[in-house]
Structure 1
Amino acid sequence: MTRPHLKTKQHLEIDGVDTTQLADKYDTPLYVTSSDRIKQKYNQLKQALKKHYPNIRLHYACKANTNLNILQILEKEGCHIDAVSTGEIYSAIKAGYSPEKILYTGTSVSNEELKYAVDKGVMINLDSLHEMRRLSKITSTEVSFRVNPGVGAGHHDHCITGGSESKFGIWEEDIVEAYKEAIKLGLKPIGIHMHIGSGILEVEKFRPAIEKMMDIVGEITQQVDINLKFIDIGGGLGIPYKPEEKPLDIEKFAKMITTEFKKGLKKHGLEQPTLALEPGRYLVGDSSIILTKVNDIKENPFHKYIGVDAGFNILQRPAMYGSHHGVVNATNPQNAGNYIENAPKKGVNRKAEIAGPLCESGDILAENREITAQEGDILAILDAGAYGYSMASRYNSRPLPAEILIENGEPRVIRERETLKDLLTKQKTK
């Protein structure tokens, strides 16, 4: 069981709040997020790591979800930020993060973006030699480098960010020269970073990368004669989306990562730098659900379709990655036993596809699901906190939905629903 904030009584509840009442009050589609769940996941990971190595720093990979309220929740818990754009830097500062708690790791970065990060006092994590040279003409600031360790992993090809097919980072064979050149150019390299991919559920998939990273760090410090202040091993910690998937064993993960880290420090005679990680999906992924209303039901000889008012404009992951998201009938959670602890589990006569309202054949949120529903029922799409709203669009000229945060058992609007008028914002006619 990985969703303790979700329970079934007469209806599906999130942190004790009836989801059908939320749908009635705030309309659908509707994002609903548990504040307590985010705090729980952050502190679980931090405490597990600190048992084995005290100098730990967690950077929230905020591309997963940049709502200011979610950023503020994690800031109050002591989290730092991994930003990948000037917009994320701007949002993090607006949410209360001090610049020194933000690490900017861009790719294909423009001079304007570099100047923005420098002006804001944010640490820049360099992705290429050309970026380094352009930055040196702007400032002589402290920097770090993103290295491609030649190792990658992830739940989908598009989510693998290390290895021979990745566009990210400086190849391992070039990284020593990058540090040497940075010093010659007047920059001050104090850290190193990698990220191998996302959505990883097997602890052992992280081991080759951390071993390789520590050897790379050893070679850099030996040949360049510097001691790095931090070593950032990236994120990639996954969450289980399918009923049969097991969650990442965080205690085992923390022990393995810190053991290999300390082993590498000892092997290469290094000091005690900060060990940084960049969880995104792990912190917020299962904290949110999407509530969507059943508009229509139809069948043909091949399929049964449950038509809802949320499409891939609201949740793009199934269409883009073929991703699985659990779907529960919040109004009548008979079949929620696949996803929710202690919920009833009953068979159905015919499995169904959950289809959205977009004029696209690919607008299917879930395929071949054991679920029943009637027109007017509210369905809950689970585990939508990461890359849900952040990837949403106005496709088919549909306004973006509202967002609700549950804090201390009370719902609060954290983003207003757009109107039709909002669709035309910034447009100009003669």
Structure 2
Amino acid sequence: MTLPGQPQLHLRDQSLYLEDVPLAPLAREHGTPLFVYSEGAMLAALASYQRGFEGRDALICYAMKANANLAILKLFVNAGCGLDIVSGGELERALAAGAPPERIIFSGVGKTRAEMTRALEIGIGCFNVESEAELDVLSTVATGLGRTASVSIRVNPDVDAQTHPYISTGLKGNKFGIAHDRALDVYRHAASLPGLKVVGIDCHIGSQITQLSPYLDAMDRVLDLVNAIEDAGIPLHHIDFGGGLGIDYKGDTPPEAATLWQQLFAKLDARGYGDRRIVIEPGRSLVGNAGVCLTEVLYLKPGEAKNFAIVDAAMNDLPRPAMYEAFHQIVPLEARDGRTAATYDVVGPVCESGDWLGRDRLLDVEPGDVLAVLSAGAYCMSMASNYNSRPRAAEILVSGNAARVVRRRETIEDQLRAEQDLSQA
């Protein structure tokens, strides 16, 4: 049997496998917490986008903020993807992964002059610009280097993505993009600046979107702007629709990527833009359901109001529940006969009441058992920290029956290496 939202995860002889790799031996060999990712699941998710874009002029740029492990970046680059970055550090990771600079898109609201300089020097494909002030600074940096920056302006269409408020980005109250009613004036300003070349328009309305209507609404508003901008004499080479497609965490039913893009292209064709180059930046939908986090049960702590299963993974490993009250399925690695299940809050050892991974879960577990936290491929390791001086977990990539370590477990020596003991100075 397979589990909802996890196409490569299945039970075999009462044990949990990812592809053809049993997970329990990985936990014993490499310790916990441990992240394990399926190469097959990532490539299958990408293939759905590629089917939707078949026969079209399109560039898929993986939004690497979702999970920036070098092995995963190289997997997508080798499969033909560009990369979407939001920092100078991500730029260096993208280059280390072999991404051609012209297939790198630089997004984000707070690019520094140093980041702009480095990106211009290596010749990235496009800056997705988010404010008039950023346009002015980028113009100054580019002219100082004797370079031309290709820019796409991110427009905020004021469309409700119907998702969690912390991951909604397309409303008037969000910090992202240029207001829809200001966009034409900002494009005119951009076209007048030295060192800039306007090449596109960008829109991204949020993350974990599970319905078609927000995309369709946003596309209509963006295409209205494309028409107005080009009527003003500013040609646009590409239209960037961002990412944001959701995944199945708890019975969620987002459209398949190929289905979504068939409908979006139907609208593009109907409005006369079907031959325009399309750029998208999916992240979570490529990696989220490809990963699990393995964690050992340390203690069972019964109480009058709650029972707690205390595990060795924590909010520093899996920040999403603490940040968004996000739901992840939690299942044992191995089924046990003859035991009685109970309802537990699954919590970590960090000294915060917000350190929980799952609430009110019916589990048949004992100390020493290992649990799998599902759909942990996106915004877990990429957001992990060393809070409480906890080392970040190891990461494993599986393909078929092979498993490779793609990040070793951190040590306390790794954490201390950059710090200065003043008594030794």
Structure 2 CA distance, aligned partners of 1:19 and 1:99?
A: 37
2:261 aligned partner: 254
Structure 1 CA distance, aligned partners of 2:355 and 2:141?
A: 46
Identify if the C-alpha distance between structure 1 residues 303 and 271 changes in structure 2 by more than 3 Å, giving closer, same or farther: closer
Structure 2 CA distance, aligned partners of 1:283 and 1:78?
A: 14
1:375 aligned partner: 367
Q: Could you give the per-residue CA deviations for residues 397-420 of structure 1, whole angstroms, max 9, x where no partner exists?
A: 111110011023211110010112
Deviation at 1:154, TM superposition (A): 4.8
Q: Could you give the per-residue CA deviations for residues 128-170 of structure 1, whole angstroms, max 9, x where no partner exists?
A: 1111111111223221111111213153101001111110111
Q: Could you give the per-residue CA deviations for residues 97-127 of structure 1, whole angstroms, max 9, x where no partner exists?
A: 0100000012122222211211121121111
Q: Could you give the per-residue CA deviations for residues 193-234 of structure 1, whole angstroms, max 9, x where no partner exists?
A: 0100000111122111011111111111111x1321110011
Q: Which amino acid aligns with 1:400?
A: R
For residue 161 of structure 1, give the secondary structure of its aligned residue in structure 2. coil
Aligned length: 411
1:340 aligned partner: none
CA RMSD of aligned residues (A): 1.7
2:50 aligned partner: 46
Aligned residue among 30, 35, 56 for 2:39: 35
Q: Which amino acid aligns with 1:149?
A: P
Deviation at 1:255, TM superposition (A): 1.8
2:319 aligned partner: 316
1:81 aligned partner: 83
1:20 aligned partner: 24
Deviation at 1:3, TM superposition (A): 1.9
Structure 1 CA distance, aligned partners of 2:22 and 2:35?
A: 14
Deviation at 1:349, TM superposition (A): 5.0
2:145 aligned partner: none
Structure 2 CA distance, aligned partners of 1:333 and 1:279?
A: 39
Q: Could you give the per-residue CA deviations for residues 250-281 of structure 1, whole angstroms, max 9, x where no partner exists?
A: 343122211122223x2xxx583211111100
Structure 1 alignment gaps of length 5 or more? 335-345
Deviation at 1:237, TM superposition (A): 0.2
Identify if the C-alpha distance between structure 1 residues 115 and 143 changes in structure 2 by more than 3 Å, giving closer, same or farther: same
Please, what TM-score do these two structures have when normalized by structure 1? 0.92
For residue 48 of structure 2, give the secondary structure of its aligned residue in structure 1. helix
Matched, 1:238 2:243: no
1:337 aligned partner: none
1:286 aligned partner: 289
Structure 2 alignment gaps of length 5 or more? 143-147
1:112 aligned partner: 114
Structure 2 CA distance, aligned partners of 1:382 and 1:55?
A: 35
Q: What pairs up with 1:63-74 in 2 under 5 angstroms?
A: 63-74=65-76
Are the aligned partners of 1:2 and 1:247 in contact in 2 as well (CA < 8 Å)?
no
Q: What pairs up with 1:74-223 in 2 under 5 angstroms?
A: 74-122=76-124, 123-139=126-142, 140-186=148-194, 187-223=196-232
Q: What pairs up with 1:263-302 in 2 under 5 angstroms?
A: 263-264=270-271, 266=272, 272-302=275-305
Q: Which amino acid aligns with 2:158?
A: G
Deviation at 1:333, TM superposition (A): 7.1
1:406 aligned partner: 398
Are the aligned partners of 1:347 and 1:370 in contact in 2 as well (CA < 8 Å)?
no
Are the aligned partners of 1:203 and 1:252 in contact in 2 as well (CA < 8 Å)?
no
Are the aligned partners of 1:227 and 1:271 in contact in 2 as well (CA < 8 Å)?
no
Q: Which amino acid aligns with 1:22?
A: L
Structure 1 CA distance, aligned partners of 2:11 and 2:117?
A: 51
For residue 141 of structure 2, give the secondary structure of its aligned residue in structure 1. coil
Q: Which amino acid aligns with 1:354?
A: V
1:366 aligned partner: 358
Are the aligned partners of 1:203 and 1:249 in contact in 2 as well (CA < 8 Å)?
no
Q: Which amino acid aligns with 2:230?
A: T
